[in-house]
């Protein structure tokens, strides 16, 4: 990791832009894939599956059969872990459920909204560089709590054309029966637009690599998405009270995800900066391949230590970067927390390691990346629900305030709007306007 002393706002902004431009370089390729799937369906899909997946498949091989799901076998320990994982996620995400809301005006009109679950959701579960069963749980549990009836899983197959037994077991455990062996931009496009084999969904959730993130960005006008959740990110703000061994492993935990992941430490202590840098060099050797090479590449591309004069400047840079994960490891983390405006998920103190968030202590780990935490949030039950507004106006309400609506409509130049209200006032015998 490169140490940058007293960086300027311009320097930090350039680090962000360099990372974005690296990802944007693949946008034309992703656009061609999405358009091909949209126009040609199955024929384009199987072409990309056989080009980009680890195995060759026919179109009939894409869907995992119910028999395969039912026969999934995992260890008893994994079953117990999944039950505990689900229990923690359910407890936290049930807090996010919203009941229908209603109110009456003084004149008896009914106003409110209904919370209606989405009819269908696609969950993208990465598996190219690991089996991310945790992502399936993070996405499926809030979807089930929200009441989504049709949940579809898209996940890349292994070299044998199979899906991980852990993924299949979780699907069985949660009652999900629609699983397709596909990944990348072609999987996102197939879920968004549908093919002859795959029925389209209303929304796609779940993180992925830059190809997945860019595909989600391109289909947003035709299919809902949670956020542009691309390669993982962690930013740590630390002072001299932090444990440099903890910090080094937390930074490596994100770097081993993906070559395009970002790991940043902002600290007021040069001693901490040097110790973390040294520890990372030693700890890298403890990682097995391919994680070691992946983490090393990630840190060389997007690993930085920013040495600053004070914690307020650290908070300022953090808000500029708007990281997916933010750790605040300082003597008084709650004081600094008040200055944080942009972050997907925040972890406070020496013992709040971000990987604990990855594995289900409660909050979701599907979070906005590429600075989109400036305007978006992590996955929650509300992502699987839409609000339908409801209005019932009484004659008393119309008689009291109807003339105001007529005037407002005419001020905007919409005569038909005005007449739609005026004719009702005339019917009630109370129209006094011109």
Known catalytic residues are: 324-325
Beta-bridged to residue 64, according to DSSP, are: none
For 150, residues 6+ apart whose C-beta sits below 8 A from its C-beta are 119, 120, 121, 178, 201
Please report, for residues 27, 30, 48, 189, 222, the alpha-carbon distance to residue 37 in angstroms, rounded to integers and kept in the order given.
16, 11, 9, 6, 14
Beta-bridged to residue 117, according to DSSP, are: 385
The answer to whether 162 is a known ligand-binding residue is no
For 137, residues 6+ apart whose C-beta sits below 8 A from its C-beta are 82, 85, 86, 89, 170, 360
The answer to whether 93 is a known ligand-binding residue is no
The answer to whether 8 is a known ligand-binding residue is no
The answer to whether 383 is a known ligand-binding residue is no
Cα 129 from Cα 256, distance rounded (Å): 9
The answer to whether 250 is a known ligand-binding residue is no
Please report, for residues 137, 181, 196, 215, the alpha-carbon distance to residue 58 in angstroms, rounded to integers and kept in the order given.
28, 11, 14, 23
The answer to whether 412 is a known ligand-binding residue is yes
The answer to whether 254 is a known ligand-binding residue is yes
By DSSP bridging, strand 303-307 and strand 325-329 are unpaired
Q: Is the dihedral of CA 115, 120, 126, 132 positive or negative?
A: positive
* 201 in Cβ contact with 150 (< 8 Å): yes
Q: Which of 394, 393, 395, 417 is nearest to 406 (CA)?
A: 417
- CB half-sphere exposure, 310, CA atoms < 13 A: 3
* 183 in Cβ contact with 156 (< 8 Å): yes
Which residues are annotated as part of the binding site for Zn(2+)? 254, 257, 358, 417
Which residues are annotated as part of the binding site for substrate? 232, 254, 257, 325, 358, 412, 417
């Amino acid at each position: 990791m490169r140490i940058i002393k007293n960086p300027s706002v311009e320097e930090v902004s350039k680090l962000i832009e360099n990372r974005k431009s690296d990802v944007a370089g693949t946008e034309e390729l992703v656009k061609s894939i999405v358009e091909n799937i949209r126009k040609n369906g199955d024929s384009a899909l199987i072409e990309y599956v056989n080009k980009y997946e680890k195995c060759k498949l026919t179109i009939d091989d894409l869907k995992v059969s119910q028999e395969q799901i039912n026969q999934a076998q995992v260890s008893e320990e994994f079953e117990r872990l999944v039950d505990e994982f689900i229990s923690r996620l359910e407890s936290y995400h049930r807090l996010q459920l919203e009941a229908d809301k209603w109110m009456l005006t003084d004149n008896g009109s009914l106003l409110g909204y209904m919370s209606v679950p989405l009819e269908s959701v696609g969950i993208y579960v990465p598996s190219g560089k690991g089996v991310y069963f945790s992502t399936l749980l993070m996405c499926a549990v809030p979807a089930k709590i929200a009441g989504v009836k049709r949940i579809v899983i898209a996940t890349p197959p292994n070299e044998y054309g199979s899906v991980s037994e852990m993924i299949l077991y979780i699907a069985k455990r949660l009652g999900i029966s629609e699983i397709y062996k596909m990944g990348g931009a072609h999987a996102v496009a197939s879920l968004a637009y549908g093919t002859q084999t795959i029925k389209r969904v209303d929304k796609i959730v779940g993180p992925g690599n830059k190809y997945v993130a860019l595909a989600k960005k391109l289909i947003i006008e035709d299919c809902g998405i949670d956020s542009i959740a691309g390669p993982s990110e962690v930013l740590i703000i630390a002072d001299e009270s932090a444990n440099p061994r903890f910090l080094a492993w937390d930074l490596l935990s994100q770097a081993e995800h993906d070559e395009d992941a970002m790991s940043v430490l902002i600290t007021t202590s040069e001693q901490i900066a040097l110790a973390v840098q040294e520890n990372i060099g030693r700890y890298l050797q403890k990682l097995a391949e391919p994680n070691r090479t992946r983490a090393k590449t990630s840190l060389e591309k997007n690993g930085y230590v920013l040495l600053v004069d004070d914690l307020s400047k650290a908070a300022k840079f953090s808000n500029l970067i708007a990281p997916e994960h933010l750790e605040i490891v300082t003597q008084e983390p709650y004081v600094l927390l008040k200055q944080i405006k942009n972050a997907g998920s925040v972890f406070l103190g020496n013992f709040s390691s971000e990987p604990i968030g990855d594995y289900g202590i409660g909050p979701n780990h599907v979070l906005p990346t590429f600075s989109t935490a400036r305007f978006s949030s992590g996955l929650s039950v509300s992502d699987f629900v839409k609000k339908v507004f409801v209005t019932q106006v009484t004659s008393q309400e119309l008689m009291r305030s109807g003339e105001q609506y007529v005037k407002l409509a005419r001020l905007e130049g919409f005569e038909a709007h005005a007449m739609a209200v005026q004719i009702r006032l005339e019917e009630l015998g109370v129209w006094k306007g011109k």
